[in-house]
């Protein structure tokens, strides 16, 4: 396995990779895009920070790449859709720099309230001017936090130490969590109207529109001070400058920008009330060691053992969960593959029902395994990562449902495929010995073993059919390993699933199809 580190990563992380047997590591930083495109096919893993822009062209050339690791939080420098479609897992290291970034936020809050950078540079320019830099206290002021995630909560905890009152807007955080953090959850407008300081801690919005523009600045409490240590795209810079000029906003401290590195003739640098740091939020030795260590451990864990942690484009599965759901991953893939060979026309919808014990497990990976099975025969490079992307790309609607209800089996997984030519449904279960079986196919109940080669017959439920089948298979030297029958007495029809030791020839299939009372015959290979 070869791993490329294409940005400056703490040496501690690179050493972890170097010491790992079976992993070769190359550190090549600052490569232009064209160079990266030329060499990327040699690598199984790629580790970046924020400098390398992992664009679609690089991903398309990455024929052996299995994982991209981002040593940090934001994955906005990686084309997630292109990686997903190519079956490449993208992971981040979200916890390593949260404390450091929360501390940088506090540093900027204090800098803003006491004009520290401006005062320092004035003095260094040989001017003693204390009266120009009258500040404000944080004590008993209101801090509004947008995004109460890892960094937002750490900022809240630290700001409480300064005896600030803390409000937060985060539509995904529960009241209970906010209460534990000592934070009042409010609506965005309320947050703007009541905050003396505002700090942003959310990812950039997907469509790139700013969270703070003229409309929002107009709603804010006059004299508010704003800190952005999250992403530059969250603020409309021109509207911010305007709001500062009109005195609506007293000042802002920015660590992140729309375009990085920031253009040195940016108007942001011309405004005295704006403090700027060059994306330093995560820049401490401690944070860089933590993100590098976690990312390198994660990459090894995935490349060598298949454990997925902190993945942003597929569900993460730890080793314990993986062991528990492994039989269902195999069952799911087999069911998807089985039914894919019994449908005609493009699939439009997949309905998956998890019942019983399996419904309490992590089902997303099982769904992905079903989709992988469904596409196994039609798409070359299919895996559990790109299967859901491909389903989406092809406009296939995928629905999952869970129920604790159980009947004969402790768990069942039902896959219903709707194609332009009809609907087929197969239900599977895991038996005590770990064997996976089909327990229902369309409306027929049975207990059929899933094996490499199978024949699926639709026949009239009359005497002689099984005898004729045995004769034809015997004549064609096909050994029967198992036979499973599902009957619909009222209709006088049956479905037979026959396990055979080798695949049937076209002549065998023709002979079976020409046999009376056999309505259809399909060969299925897993
Ligand atoms: P996180 O995922 O733990 O927290 C983000 C929070 O934002 C979540 O609680 C989420 O519910 C909330 N959220 C999402 N969309 C929202 C919206 N529209 N309005 C309000 N809340 C919303 O992430 P984190 O680790 O705390 O990181 C936060 C941001 O900081 C990220 O953008 C990350 O890239 C950035 N970051 C910057 C630096 C730096 O160097 N300046 C360092 C680390 C992280
Ligand atoms: C992140 O998203 O982790 C930060 O932007 C810090 C970094 O530059 O890695």
User: pLDDT of 2-30, one tens digit each?
Assistant: 999 999 999 999 999 999 999 999 999 99
Assigned domain for 312 exists: no
What is the C-alpha separation between 139 and 195, in angstroms, rounded? Answer: 13
- Mark whether 381 and 234 lie in a shared domain: no
User: pLDDT category, 385, cuts 50, 70, 90?
Assistant: confident
What is the C-alpha separation between 228 and 104, in angstroms, rounded? Answer: 10
CA of 151 relative to ligand 1 center, distance in Å: 7
Query: Partners of 143 in the beta sheet?
Result: 166, 197
For the chain, the 3-state helix, strand and coil shares in percent, each to the nearest 5, are 35, 25, 35
Residue nearest to atom 2 of ligand 1 (CA): 149
- Mark whether 156 and 224 lie in a shared domain: yes
How does pLDDT run across 248-259, given as a tens digit for each residue? 999 999 999 999
CA of 91 relative to ligand 2 center, distance in Å: 13
DSSP states along 216-240: HHHHSPTTEEEEE-S-GGGB-HHHH
Residue nearest to atom 39 of ligand 1 (CA): 281
pLDDT at res. 206: 79
The yes-or-no verdict on residue 417 having pLDDT over 90 is yes
Residue nearest to atom 9 of ligand 2 (CA): 72
% of the chain with per-residue pLDDT over 90: 84
- Mark whether 393 and 463 lie in a shared domain: no
The sheet with strand 197-200 has its strands ordered as 184-185, 165-169, 142-146, 197-200, 224-228, 249-254, 274-276
> What is the number of the ligand closest to the CA of 209?
1
User: pLDDT category, 149, cuts 50, 70, 90?
Assistant: very high
pLDDT at res. 242: 98
User: pLDDT category, 314, cuts 50, 70, 90?
Assistant: confident
- Mark whether 455 and 440 lie in a shared domain: no
Beta carbons within 10 angstroms of residue 298's beta carbon: 25
Average pLDDT, the chain: 94
Domain-ending residue, one of 226, 258, 276: 276
Report the nearest atom of ligand 2 relative to the CA of 71: 9
Assigned domain for 117 exists: yes
Average pLDDT of the residues in 42-66: 97
Question: No. of H helices and E strands in the chain?
Answer: 17, 22
pLDDT at res. 176: 87
**Mean pLDDT lowest among 105-119, 253-267, 277-291, 454-468:** 454-468
The yes-or-no verdict on residue 405 having pLDDT over 90 is no
DSSP letter, residue 202 = S
- Mark whether 421 and 496 lie in a shared domain: no
Q: List the one residue out of 199, 86, 89 whose CA is nearest residue 138.
A: 199
3-state secondary structure of 249: strand
3-state secondary structure of 458: strand
Task: Choose one of 72, 150, 295, 312 to mutate for the ligand 2 pocket test, by most ligand atoms within 8 angstroms of C-beta.
Answer: 72
- Mark whether 252 and 128 lie in a shared domain: yes
pLDDT at res. 378: 84
Please state at what angle helix 465-475 crosses helix 506-513, rounded to 10 degrees. Answer: 160
3-state secondary structure of 492: coil
Among all residues, which ones are annotated catalytic?
231, 260, 279
Q: How far is CA 178 from the centre of its chain?
A: 25
493-507 b/e with 16+ CB inside 10 Å = b? bbbbbbbbeeebeee
Bridging pattern class, strands 197-200 and 224-228: parallel
> What is the number of the ligand closest to the CA of 181?
1
CA of 302 relative to ligand 2 center, distance in Å: 22
Assigned domain for 437 exists: yes
> What is the number of the ligand closest to the CA of 177?
1
Task: Read off the CATH number of the domain in which 117 is found.
Answer: 3.40.50.720
User: pLDDT category, 321, cuts 50, 70, 90?
Assistant: confident
pLDDT at res. 237: 98
CA of 73 relative to ligand 1 center, distance in Å: 8
Q: List the one residue out of 157, 142, 187 whose CA is nearest residue 169.
A: 187
Domain-ending residue, one of 425, 449, 473: 449
**Mean pLDDT lowest among 45-54, 200-209, 279-288, 307-316:** 307-316
- Mark whether 443 and 464 lie in a shared domain: no
CA of 147 relative to ligand 1 center, distance in Å: 6
The yes-or-no verdict on residue 1 having pLDDT over 90 is yes
Assigned domain for 458 exists: yes
Is the CB of 170 within 6 Å of ligand 1?
yes
Is the CB of 210 within 6 Å of ligand 1?
no
Contact residues for 154 (Cβ-Cβ < 8 A; gap 6+): 98, 99, 101, 102
The sheet with strand 453-460 has its strands ordered as 480-488, 493-500, 453-460, 518-525
pLDDT at res. 140: 98
The sheet with strand 444-449 has its strands ordered as 397-403, 347-356, 411-419, 422-430, 436-441, 444-449
Is the CB of 334 within 6 Å of ligand 1?
no
Average pLDDT of the residues in 287-313: 93
Is the CB of 281 within 6 Å of ligand 1?
yes
CA of 513 relative to ligand 1 center, distance in Å: 61
**342 neighbors 524 (Cβ within 8 angstroms):** yes
pLDDT at res. 489: 77
DSSP letter, residue 186 = -
Average pLDDT of the residues in 165-180: 91
Report the nearest atom of ligand 2 relative to the CA of 256: 5
pLDDT at res. 498: 96
User: pLDDT category, 177, cuts 50, 70, 90?
Assistant: confident
Average pLDDT of the residues in 436-449: 94
Using a 6 Å CB cutoff, which residues line ligand 2?
49-50, 72-74, 97, 279, 281-282
Assigned domain for 310 exists: no
> What is the number of the ligand closest to the CA of 104?
1
Is the CB of 230 within 6 Å of ligand 1?
yes
Assigned domain for 417 exists: yes
Report the nearest atom of ligand 1 relative to the CA of 148: 9
How does pLDDT run across 507-518, given as a tens digit for each residue? 999 999 999 899
- Mark whether 137 and 267 lie in a shared domain: yes
Half-sphere exposure of 381 (CA within 13 A, CB side): 14
Is the CB of 76 within 6 Å of ligand 1?
no
- Mark whether 105 and 210 lie in a shared domain: yes
Assigned domain for 311 exists: no
- Mark whether 253 and 268 lie in a shared domain: yes
Structural domains in the chain (count) = 4
E runs forming strands in 255-316: 274-276
Q: How far is CA 108 from CA 116, 174, 252, 280, in A?
A: 9, 28, 9, 11
- Mark whether 332 and 294 lie in a shared domain: no
Domain-ending residue, one of 402, 430, 449: 449
CA of 98 relative to ligand 2 center, distance in Å: 10
Average pLDDT of the residues in 355-377: 94
The yes-or-no verdict on residue 381 having pLDDT over 80 is no
- Mark whether 243 and 104 lie in a shared domain: yes
Can you give the residue range of the structural domain that contains 48?
2-93+286-305
Place of tokens 């492994």: 326
Assigned domain for 246 exists: yes
The yes-or-no verdict on residue 305 having pLDDT over 80 is yes
**87 neighbors 382 (Cβ within 8 angstroms):** yes
Note if the pTM is more than 0.85. Answer: no
Beta carbons within 10 angstroms of residue 47's beta carbon: 29
Is the CB of 69 within 6 Å of ligand 1?
no
């Amino acid at each position: 396995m070869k791993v490329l580190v294409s940005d400056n990563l703490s040496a501690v992380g690179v050493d972890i990779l170097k010491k790992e047997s079976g992993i070769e590591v190359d550190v090549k930083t600052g490569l232009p895009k064209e160079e990266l495109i030329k060499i990327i096919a040699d690598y199984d893993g790629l580790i970046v920070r924020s400098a390398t822009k992992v664009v679609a062209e690089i991903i398309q050339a990455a024929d052996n790449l299995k994982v991209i690791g981002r040593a940090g939080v934001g994955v906005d420098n990686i084309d997630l859709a292109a990686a997903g479609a190519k079956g490449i897992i993208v992971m981040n290291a979200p916890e390593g720099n949260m404390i450091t970034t929360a501390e940088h936020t506090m540093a900027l809050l204090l800098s803003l309230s006491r004009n520290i950078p401006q005062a320092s540079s004035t003095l260094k320019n040989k001017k003693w001017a204390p009266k120009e830099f009258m500040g404000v206290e944080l004590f008993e002021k209101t801090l509004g936090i947008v995004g109460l995630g890892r960094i937002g909560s750490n900022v809240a905890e630290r700001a409480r130490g300064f005896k600030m009152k803390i409000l937060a807007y985060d539509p995904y955080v529960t009241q209970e969590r906010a209460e534990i953090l000592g934070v009042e959850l409010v609506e965005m407008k309320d947050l703007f109207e009541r905050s003396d300081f505002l700090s942003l801690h959310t990812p950039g919005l997907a469509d790139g529109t700013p969270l703070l523009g003229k409309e929002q600045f107009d709603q804010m409490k006059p004299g508010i001070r704003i800190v952005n240590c999250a992403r530059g795209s969250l603020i409309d810079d021109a509207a911010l400058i305007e709001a500062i000029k009109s005195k609506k906003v007293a000042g802002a401290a920015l660590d992140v920008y729309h375009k990085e590195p920031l253009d040195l003739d940016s108007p942001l640098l011309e405004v005295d009330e704006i403090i700027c740091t060059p994306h330093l939020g995560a820049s401490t030795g401690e944070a860089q060691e933590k993100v590098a260590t976690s990312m390198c451990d994660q990459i090894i864990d995935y490349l060598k053992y298949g454990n997925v942690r902190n993945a942003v484009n597929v569900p993460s599965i730890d080793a314990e969960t993986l062991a528990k759901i492994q039989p269902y991953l195999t069952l799911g893939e087999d069911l998807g593959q089985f039914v894919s060979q019994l449908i005609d026309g493009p699939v439009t919808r997949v309905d998956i029902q998890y019942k019983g014990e399996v419904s309490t497990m992590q089902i997303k990976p099982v769904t992905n395994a079903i989709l992988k099975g469904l596409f196994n025969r039609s798409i070359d490079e299919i895996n559990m990562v790109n299967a859901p992307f491909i389903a989406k790309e092809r406009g296939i609607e995928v629905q999952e449902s869970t129920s604790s209800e159980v009947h004969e089996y402790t768990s069942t997984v039902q896959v219903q495929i709707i194609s332009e030519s009809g609907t087929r449904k197969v239900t599977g279960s895991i038996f005590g010995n770990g064997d996976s079986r089909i327990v229902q196919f369309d409306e027929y109940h049975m207990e059929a073993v899933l094996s490499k080669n199978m024949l699926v017959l639709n026949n009239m439920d009359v005497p002689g059919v099984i005898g004729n089948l045995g004769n034809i298979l015997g004549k064609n030297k096909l050994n029967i390993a198992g036979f499973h029958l599902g009957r619909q007495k009222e209709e006088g029809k049956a479905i037979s699933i026959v396990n055979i030791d080798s695949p049937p020839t076209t002549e065998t299939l023709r002979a079976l199809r020409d046999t009376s009372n056999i309505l259809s015959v399909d060969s299925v290979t897993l």
